[in-house]
Amino acid sequence: MRRTRIGAGAALAAGALAVTGLAFAPAAFAVTPTTATITADCGSFGGGAATLTATQDGTSATVTVNSAITAPIGLSEDSIASTLTLVKAGGGTSVFSGTENPAMAAGDPVQVGPLSGTVASGDSLEAFGGSLQMTVFGITITCTATGPQSPGPFVFD
C-alpha cells in the first residue's frame, strides 16, 4: 500500500512538472502564407511576376523579394539598400528594410533580403498599395504591385 502511494505521488508530481513546462515553453510563431506572388511594375526598369517570402520569430519578421526585374550589370553581395512597405489590413503600413542581397551577374533576377521588420500578433500585411524601393549605385528603383498578392496577405501569429 505504501508503494502505491509513493508511486501515485511521484506520478502526480511528474504530471504537474510536465504541465508547468508546457505553460512556460516558448510559443511557436508562424506566418501564413509563407510565400506570395505579385505582379510588379518597376517603371522604366521593367516589371512582371515577383515572389515574396516571409518568416517570423516573435515580433521580428523578415521578407525576401525575388523581384520582377533583372540586374543590368553584375552586383556585389549586400550592395542594394532596400525598403519594402506593406499595407496593414486595419490601416497604416509596416516597413521592412536592409542591405541584404546575394551577388548577382548581369541578367540575373534581382533578389533582396531578408529585409527586417517588426510585426504584432494578428498583423495582416499586403504588398498591394505598398512599394519596394531599391537603391543601387545612387539610383532608386521603385516597384509597386499592380494587384493584390496571391494567395493572400501575410498573417502573423
Give pLDDT tens digits for 42-83.
Answer: 999 999 999 999 999 999 999 999 988 999 999 999 999 999
The predicted structure's pLDDT at residue 99: 98
Question: What confidence tier does 3 reach under pLDDT thresholds 50, 70, 90?
Answer: very low
Residues pairing with 33 in the sheet: none
Residue 16 has pLDDT above 60, yes or no: no
**Terminal alpha carbon distance of the chain:** 50
* Residues 68-77: tens digit of each pLDDT: 899 999 999 9
Task: Give the long-range contacts of residues 102-105, CB within 8 A, separation 24 or more.
Answer: 102/77, 103/74, 103/75, 103/76, 103/77, 104/71, 104/74, 104/75, 105/71, 105/74
Q: How confident is the model at residue 29 (pLDDT cuts 50, 70, 90)?
A: low
Q: Is it the case that residue 8 has pLDDT exceeding 50?
A: no
pLDDT at residue 7, as a whole number: 42
Range 28-54 average pLDDT: 93
List pLDDT tens digits, range 87-145. 999 999 999 999 999 999 999 999 999 999 999 999 999 999 999 999 999 999 999 99
- Compute the distance between CA of residue 128 and CA of residue 40 in angstroms, rounded to an integer: 9
Cα 45 to Cα 70, 72, 153: the distances in Å are 9, 9, 26
Distance of CA 54 to the CA centre of its chain: 2
**Is the model's pLDDT at 5 over the cut of 70?**
no
Which of the pair, 3 or 84, is modelled with greater confidence?
84
Give the global pTM.
0.81
